[in-house]
Every structure is written in C-alpha cells, then in structure tokens.
Amino acid sequence: MPWQQVVVYAVIISSALSLLTYWVTKKFVLRKMNRTIMKAEHNYQQQIASLQMQLSGKVSALEGMVNKLRLSNQELTRLNEIRSKFMSIVAHDLRQPLSSIQGFASILMMDSPQGGGDNDQLALNNILKATDNMNMLMTDLMDISMIESGRFKMDGQPFSFNTLVTDVVALQAVNAQKKGIFLQKYDFPQEVTIVADRFRISQVLNNLIGNAIKFAPQGGRVEIGFYADDEKLACRVSDNGPGILHTEKEKIFQKFHQSDNDRNLKKQGWGLGLSIAQEIVRAHGGEIGVESAGLGQGAVFWFTLPKTFVAAQPTSGH
C-alpha cells in the first residue's frame, strides 16, 4: 500500500476520533456542566431571595426602631419643655413669698424687742440665711430655664475687668473672713477693658471664688489672678481644698452634679453654678475648665474671654 493512502486513512481515522470525542463531550460532559451550572444558579437565586427577605425584615425592624426613636425624642422634647416651664414658674412664684419672709425677718431683727433673747436672734438669722439660699436657688433655676429655652442672652458693654475683679473680691472677702480664709488677689499691671456682659461675668467670678472659699479648709488660701494680651484675657481661681478626681473633671460642669469628696459641703449647694458659669463663658466665645493634681491637691478653675464680644447671642443647654 502506498504511503499516500496510509496518510489518508490516518487523517480519516483521526477526524473520526475527533468527531466522536466532540460528540461524547457535548452529549455527556457539557450536559453535566450545564446541569451543574443551572443548579448553582438556582441555589444562588434562592440565596439571593433569602437574603432579600432577611434584608426586608431588617429594614422593617429598623424603620420601626426609627419611628420609636422619633416618638421618644418628641416626648423627651415635650417633657423638657414642661420641666423648663415648671422651673420658671416655680422660681417666679416663690420669689414673692420668700421676699416677704425675708422682709418680715429683717423688721423683727431691727425691732429687737426687750423680751427677746439670743435664741430669737439666732432663729431670725437662720431664717434670713435660709431665704438668701432659696433666693439664690430661684435665680439659678431661672437661669437654667432660660438656657434650656434658648433665651439666655448676653448684653455686651465695655467695662474695666480690673474693677470687676476688685468688686467681686471685696464682696467675697466677707465670706472668706468668716471661715478664716486668706483671700489673695494678684493685680494685673495694665488696665484691661473688655466688651462683655458685666453682670454675667461677675456671676462667673462670684461662683468660682465662692466655691473656692467653700471648699478650702478652715484657715486655707484662695488666690485670684488674671492676665491679658491684645485679643483675650485669662482668669484663674485656685484653692488648697480637697481637689478633684481626674474622672470627675468632665462631669463637674454638668447640671446638678456635686462632688462626693465632702458630703457636708455637698449639702450647701445644688450643683447649678458651674453649669451656668460654663454657659455664660461659652456664650461669650470663651472657654472654661479646671485643673487638679488629684485628691488633697487643691484645684484651679480658669476661664478665658475674648476682649471684644461681637454680638449677644442666645445659647441653649448642653
């Protein structure tokens, strides 16, 4: 047989085998692959459907939570408004009877009847002290009410900060003498004029110095000083009292917060003064804070103010 025929037969056989292989592959292997692909696609679609159902359930639950949160926020806002109005009404309505009690007690003390004794004078003094404390509480409650209702506004007018510090220290010196506290004021060499709400800044100073005197030990020391540059001033009030824990520094300016360091001192206030002082300083565009090395190391309260208060703006509570 010629070699040419052998080559032809080989080509024919090779072609036939190729066709047979293609047919077998197409009929069995590809069919199996198609079934596998279709099964995988079906499973994938089932998983997608399951995930879509789960997602739909999560979305519905989330929408329900959002609705509940919105309703809770609305209720919280309503309760805050009621509380703010209640505090304002209470503070306003109690001032008149307190003033009457204070006036009558003062008249009784001035009359000083011959039949009266030391016990009578002591009782009248206690009445006057109690009414003074209640009047201060009413003032604080009115301020808190204005803060929470957004009606807390500052009236910026130019005044001498040096004179203000001198006036406040002179006023607080009486309380310091009663407790044997050495009250030291460091004068700034230059006259510093700022534009701010004088009454509100005096409120801040009275609060910080009054607290320092209250927490300083019998015969302790309280120091007040300030410095200023072209743009702002910084004031510091330090005492050698019980100090403040590091974890308490962030809480100390919160409303109604009181330190647990001394439970006897805790009874002397309501925890509103520092919160109000913070609002006043922030409303002026300043900052306020406290430093303490720890318990038994005293504390330094400080605040900064821009020398020019641009505009009186209402501030809301935090």
- Pick the last residue of a domain from 149, 177, 202: 149
Asked if 34 and 26 count as a contact pair (C-beta separation under 8 A), the reply is: no
- Residue 4 sits in the same domain as residue 137: yes
Residue 280's nearest CA partner among 198, 211, 212 is 198
- Residue 230 sits in the same domain as residue 133: no
Rounded Cα distance, 186 and 163, in Å: 13
Rounded Cα distance, 301 and 226, in Å: 12
Please give the pLDDT value at position 268: 55
Listing DSSP states for 9-57 in one string gives HHHHHHHHHHHHHHHHIIIIIHHHHHHHHHHHHHHHHHHHHHHHHHHHH
Tokens of 218: 């019998």
- Residue 161 sits in the same domain as residue 301: yes
- Domain range for 130 is 1-149
CATH number at residue 172: 3.30.565.10
Indicate whether 249 belongs to any domain: yes
- Residue 15 sits in the same domain as residue 103: yes
- Predicted TM-score (pTM) of this structure: 0.62
pLDDT per residue over 129-185, tens digit each? 777 667 666 676 677 766 666 667 888 899 999 999 999 999 999 889 988 999 999
In the chain, the number of structural domains is 2
Indicate whether 316 belongs to any domain: no
Least confident of 32-36, 93-97, 307-311: 93-97
b or e along 28-48 (b: 16 or more beta carbons within 10 Å of the residue's beta carbon)?
Answer: eeeeeeeeeeeeeeeeeeeee
Indicate whether 162 belongs to any domain: yes
pLDDT per residue over 231-262, tens digit each? 999 999 999 988 888 877 778 888 766 665 55
CA distances, 120 to each of 97, 114, 117 (Å): 21, 11, 5
Indicate whether 53 belongs to any domain: yes
- Pick the last residue of a domain from 107, 122, 149: 149
